[in-house]
Amino acid sequence: MKEWLSKFFDFETLLFGQTWIEVVWIALLALLFLAIVYTVNRIVAIGQKGHMEDYFTWVRCDTCGWTGEVSKFHKNCPNCGDTLNFR
Ligand SMILES: [Zn+2]
Overall pTM surpassing 0.85 (yes/no): no
51 contacts 59 by C-beta, under 8 angstroms: no
Ligand 1 center–CA 51 separation, angstroms: 26
Ligand 1 center–CA 60 separation, angstroms: 8
Asked if pLDDT for residue 20 goes beyond 80, the answer is no
Query: Would you give the DSSP letter of residue 73?
Result: T
Q: pLDDT-based confidence at 14, cuts 50/70/90?
A: low
Residues 66-82: tens digit of each pLDDT? 999 888 887 889 999 99
Ligand 1 center–CA 82 separation, angstroms: 5
Ligand 1 center–CA 49 separation, angstroms: 26
Asked if pLDDT for residue 35 goes beyond 90, the answer is yes
Q: How far apart are CA 42 and CA 44, in angstroms?
A: 5
* Cα angle 53-41-30, degrees, rounded to a multiple of 5: 175
